[in-house]
Structure 1
Amino acid sequence: MSVAFVPERLRGKAEVNQETLQQLLEENDQLIRCIMEYQNKGRAADCVQYQHILHRNLIYLATIADATPPSTQKTAE
Structure 2
Amino acid sequence: MQFLTPYYLLTQISPIVQYGVGELSLTNPTHTITETALIAYLMGLGFDYRTALAIVESWECNQALLRDGLLCEAPANE
The verdict on a shared fold, with TM-score over 0.5 as the criterion, is no
TM-score, normalised by the number of residues in structure 1: 0.34
User: Which has the larger Rg?
Assistant: 1
TM-score, normalised by the number of residues in structure 2: 0.34
Name whichever structure is richer in helix by fraction: 2
Which structure has more relative contact order (CA 8 Å, sep 6+)? It is 1
